[in-house]
Amino acid sequence: MSDRSLKRWWATPLVGLAGGYLASCVGWPLPWMVGSLLAIILVRCLTPWQITEIPHGRKGGQWIIGIGIGLHFTPQVVEQVASHFGLIFFGALITSVSSLLGVWLLRRTGEDRATAFFSSMPGGSGEMVNLGARNGAVLSRVAAAQSLRVLAVVLLVPAAFKFLLGDGVPLRHAGAVDWGWLAVIAPLGVLAAFIWQRLRQPNPWLFGPLLVASVISISGNLHVGLPDGASQIGQWLIGSGLGCHFNRAFFRRAPSFLGRTMIATALTMLIAALAAWVLSAVTQLDLRSLTLGMMPGGIAEMSLTAETLQLSVPLVTALQVMRLLFVLFLAEPLFRHWAGERSVPSERR
């Protein structure tokens, strides 16, 4: 690693730690993620100091969080989640379809079809940029819209849940630390992440460890968890990584486009909340868990919020994963069908 590279990121973990500590002092939800995220954004926006992401830091954070999420899965929990498969399918479908409001809004204000479509889909930022590249979207706008959506959800949703809905119902997850099992799961999680990455699958450093931890936890009927402080380290690494995507130039770039993206995100969140309320009334499942699972945020961030607020992490994760599968498998075929239909009249002329 060059000295020049080190000079650009050495302060990033320190700024993130300071922000996380201050957020924890004031009782902010997800303090080590939100605090480090905001601290780094403020430094990059208010000073000339453009600190950069810790090399592989976000991957390390996702690896920790993926293992932590996977350990929440036990045979009893999987049976409960599977019994609500129809609800999970329907809830994820609602969130996916509601993103079409963003497409409509961006199209009404002059964006081309590909940019409007892939900017609005609630999938991973990297995956949507790749799909947009194959279909002629303006990649800088797709990346900006996806980053802003995640930022808005991470900043607003945990705070709203904490201060408006309370702390939730404590989980019956023992969470005892078993260093023997963790010594097996942790390296296997790294191996799975490399394999997942080699296969070019989405979120390899989250899904690889999550898959390993959940399979071992379910097959061994484990009731173990991460040691104290591990979740906070994962939050800090993820928050520090996210913050490095933003600076003054980001917020000055096409402010009207970013404003419309924020409006579309707010509408999607509102629809998700209303749909969760209806589903909760019908099924008697926890409203908080359903709402969080249907929010258009990242899987790691929403699952962390569920864990922090003592909600059903497996249910939230299942809803988030199902939504991601919908978007990854259906977004491009639907777009090409839509684009093909629009091109037919012009060809006939």
**DSSP letter string over 268-305?**
HHHHHHHHHHHHHHHH---HHHHHHHHSSS-HHHHHHH
| pLDDT at residue 348 in the model | 35
- Mean pLDDT score across all residues of the chain: 87
Q: Is residue 8 part of a domain?
A: no
Query: What percentage of residues in the chain have a pLDDT greater than 70?
Result: 92
Question: What is the rounded radius of gyration, in angstroms, for the C-alpha atoms of the chain?
Answer: 20
Whether 109 shows a pLDDT value over 60: the answer reads: yes
Structure tokens, 278? 């209806």
Query: What percentage of residues in the chain have a pLDDT greater than 90?
Result: 45
Whether 301 shows a pLDDT value over 90: the answer reads: no
Find the farthest-apart pair of alpha carbons in the chain and give their distance in angstroms, rounded.
70
| pLDDT at residue 342 in the model | 55
Q: Is residue 333 part of a domain?
A: yes
Q: Give the residues across from 70 on adjacent strands.
A: none
Whether 2 shows a pLDDT value over 80: the answer reads: no
CA–CA gap between residue 63 and residue 189 (Å, rounded): 7
328 contacts 127 by C-beta, under 8 angstroms: yes
- Dihedral sign from CA coordinates of 265, 302, 63, 314: negative
> pTM for this structure?
0.83
How many structural domains does the chain have?
Answer: 1
Q: Is residue 289 part of a domain?
A: yes
Mean pLDDT of 118-139: 87
H/E/C letters for each residue in 319-341? HHHHHHHHHHHHHHHHHHHHHHH
29-54 pLDDT, tens per residue?
788 999 999 999 999 999 988 899 89
Whether 268 shows a pLDDT value over 80: the answer reads: yes
Residue 132 sits in which domain range? Answer: 55-339
| pLDDT at residue 169 in the model | 47
Q: Is residue 349 part of a domain?
A: no
Q: Is residue 38 part of a domain?
A: no
312-335 pLDDT, tens per residue?
889 999 999 999 888 888 888 999
Q: Is residue 314 part of a domain?
A: yes
Q: Compute how many other C-beta atoms are within 10 angstroms of the C-beta atom of residue 168.
A: 19
| pLDDT at residue 329 in the model | 85
What ranges in the chain are assigned the alpha helix state H?
3-9, 12-25, 31-46, 57-70, 75-83, 85-98, 100-108, 113-120, 125-134, 139-160, 179-198, 204-219, 230-243, 248-252, 255-283, 287-294, 299-308, 313-348
What band does 3 get if pLDDT is binned at 50, 70 and 90? low
**Strand residue runs (E) in the chain:** none
| pLDDT at residue 166 in the model | 59
| pLDDT at residue 345 in the model | 43
Whether 346 shows a pLDDT value over 50: the answer reads: no
What band does 344 get if pLDDT is binned at 50, 70 and 90? very low
207-262 pLDDT, tens per residue?
999 999 999 999 998 888 899 899 899 999 999 998 898 888 888 877 888 899 99
Whether 203 shows a pLDDT value over 60: the answer reads: yes
| pLDDT at residue 17 in the model | 95
156-178 pLDDT, tens per residue?
888 887 777 655 444 444 468 88
276-289 pLDDT, tens per residue?
999 999 988 888 89
